[in-house]
Structure 1
Amino acid sequence: MSHPLAKIRRLFELIEPIATISFSESVDRAFREVGMRNFWDGYFAGRAAPLGRAPAEVVHAVFYNFAEGEVARHIPWVWGRISPEEAIALRERASAAALRHKLGTLAEDAGLRRVADLAARAALSAPTDGRVLYAGLRGIEVPDEPVARLWHACTLLREHRGDGHIAALMAHGIGGIEGHALLAASFGLTLETFGRTHHLPKARLDAVTSALAERGLVDRVGALTTAGRETKQRIEDLTDSLAAAPYLALSPAEIDELIAGLEPVFAAAYEHVPLDS
């Protein structure tokens, strides 16, 4: 049974801040305490760990949105300080602690177990075909404790959607940095001012903007054109469609129950820090 794509989109919006608490200051601090040099060491160690000791080229391909050479500054260096198995455990422990802190008394609410169970049932139900990072995460044992279980389920659902988003970008001929350009433009920003790309060489950013301008997707200063807005919307719509599979495990009533249950968690966890397009 399919569900309205508006509800699939809403679930993405609710799940995002819960999953991305893994990129918060307290989780970064936990990784630094075991030898990571900076935020990105911990980011790559934690997020790439389900892939095992995959080389930088593979992680770059799976993550898609990073510029050439960025992954190689961290992979495989991080594996000399922490193993993938240790990174998985540390990330889960620190992320659950960070989420628990955000939730306060809500973390002890009896209803949170039901929300976590619904999210986990959906997260574990989708096919793994073509979903590399999602497949890697599926090999990790699901925590039983409700807060950790909810974070883990939301991370699975986020990466399932992320794998589909990459497919949608590729289907529209949009490269990783070009995806950031479209996202930045939708916020009224340029690549030079967008948080995920501002550090890249100006010549590289200019080349991305020029390539999109030649296709009529942005103007000469990087603002979205009508064609650019339409293309971005098609990508988002396809991404939502491709993200629907996990939720087929839930009934319409359970989907509504999950959305209602996630609302207060979202309100407590929300931090708008877009890291990926």
Structure 2
Amino acid sequence: MSHPLAKVQRMSEFVEVIGTISFSEVATEAFLALGMRNYWDGYFAGRAAPLGLASAEVVHAVFYNFADGEVARHIPWVWGKITPQEAIAVRERGSAAALRQRIGELADSPALARVADLATRAAVGAPPEGRVLYAGLRALEVPQEPVARLWHAATLLREYRGDGHNAVLVAHGIGGTEAHVLMALSLGMRAEEFGRLHHLPKARLAAVVDGLRGRGLVDGNGEFTAAGRELRERVEALTDELAAPVYDVLSTDELDELIAGLEPIAAARQAVDH
């Protein structure tokens, strides 16, 4: 069945909050303890591990939005310190520990176990064709422990949406770095202030912004034009449309129950950050 896009958007917000616990300090420290040099080593090892011993070129293509050469600073170096199988296990343990730490007593509630079950049903029920990172994750064993299972489901749902988002960007001729410029502007930031872009050489970033200006998406002040804002909104709307089928296995009541159950968990996860 098809669900309203407003509910799909709400789910996207929740799975982003829960899934990105993988990039928190607790999970990062688990990778550092195994010889990773920095946050980004752990990031690439953990997120790319479901792809196996993929080359930097393949990881760059699948992740889509990193600058040229950025992935190659970490892949394949990390595989000299840890195997993909070990990285998958470390990421799961670290992420589950971090989530449990953030949500406190909710971690052991029957409500969380029910939410984890519903989220997992959705997460493993979608066709993987064209969803490379989602397919890699779906091939993994689903954790039995409820907190780890909820994190795993959120990660699957997040990457399912992300794979679709990349397809929409490709269809609109928006490269990865360009997508980050548009994201920065949507957040009210200048491109050079955005965390994923500030490391780029000024000439490279200027060339990307100039290209967007030439397409009429950015104005002379480096801000959105009306056309740029409309394109950004269209990309997000299409991404939500492509993300919607993953929830078709749930009834209306089940999706409503899932959304209601995730709300306090997501709120608790975010509370420490604010």
Same fold (TM over 0.5): yes
The reply on whether 1:254 has 2:254 as its aligned counterpart is yes
Aligned residue number for residue 209 of structure 2: 209
Aligned runs of 1:111-150 on 2, under 5 Å?
A: 111-150=111-150
* 2:102/2:272 contact within 8 Å kept: no
Corresponding letter in the other structure for 1:58:
V
C-alpha RMSD over aligned residues: 1.1
Q: Secondary structure at the match of 1:260?
A: helix
Counterpart-to-counterpart distance in 1, 2:243 and 2:209: 29
Corresponding letter in the other structure for 2:201:
P
Aligned runs of 1:31-110 on 2, under 5 Å?
A: 31-110=31-110
Once the two structures are superposed, residues 144-176 of structure 1 have per-residue CA deviations (whole angstroms, 9 ceiling, x without a partner) of 111000000000000000000000111111100
Q: Which runs of 5+ in 1 are unaligned?
A: none
Once the two structures are superposed, residues 121-162 of structure 1 have per-residue CA deviations (whole angstroms, 9 ceiling, x without a partner) of 000000000000000001110001110000000000000000
Classify 1:38/1:53 alpha carbon distance in 2 versus 1 (closer, same or farther; 3 Å): same
Once the two structures are superposed, residues 238-260 of structure 1 have per-residue CA deviations (whole angstroms, 9 ceiling, x without a partner) of 00000011100000111100000
State percent identity of aligned pairs.
68
Q: Secondary structure at the match of 2:191?
A: coil
Once the two structures are superposed, residues 13-50 of structure 1 have per-residue CA deviations (whole angstroms, 9 ceiling, x without a partner) of 01101000000011111100000000000000000000
Q: Which runs of 5+ in 2 are unaligned?
A: none
* 1:209/1:220 contact within 8 Å kept: no
TM superposition shift of 1:221: 2.9
* 1:5/1:240 contact within 8 Å kept: yes
The reply on whether 1:231 has 2:228 as its aligned counterpart is no
Corresponding letter in the other structure for 2:218:
V
Counterpart-to-counterpart distance in 2, 1:264 and 1:158: 19
Counterpart-to-counterpart distance in 2, 1:142 and 1:268: 24
Counterpart-to-counterpart distance in 2, 1:104 and 1:16: 19
Provide the TM-score with structure 1 as the length reference: 0.97
Provide the TM-score with structure 2 as the length reference: 0.98
Counterpart-to-counterpart distance in 1, 2:68 and 2:272: 26
Q: Secondary structure at the match of 1:198?
A: coil
* 2:165/2:239 contact within 8 Å kept: yes
Aligned runs of 1:155-234 on 2, under 5 Å?
A: 155-234=155-234
Counterpart-to-counterpart distance in 2, 1:139 and 1:21: 21
* 1:17/1:272 contact within 8 Å kept: no
Aligned residue number for residue 244 of structure 1: 244
TM superposition shift of 1:220: 2.3
* 2:3/2:244 contact within 8 Å kept: yes
Aligned residue number for residue 20 of structure 2: 20
Aligned runs of 1:266-277 on 2, under 5 Å?
A: 266-270=266-270
Corresponding letter in the other structure for 1:247:
Y
* 1:64/1:166 contact within 8 Å kept: yes
Higher deviation after alignment, 218-227 or 145-154: 218-227
Corresponding letter in the other structure for 2:125:
S
4+ runs deviating over 4 angstroms = none
Classify 1:18/1:143 alpha carbon distance in 2 versus 1 (closer, same or farther; 3 Å): same
Q: Secondary structure at the match of 1:159?
A: helix
Corresponding letter in the other structure for 2:95:
S
Paired residues in the alignment total: 273
Corresponding letter in the other structure for 2:60:
H
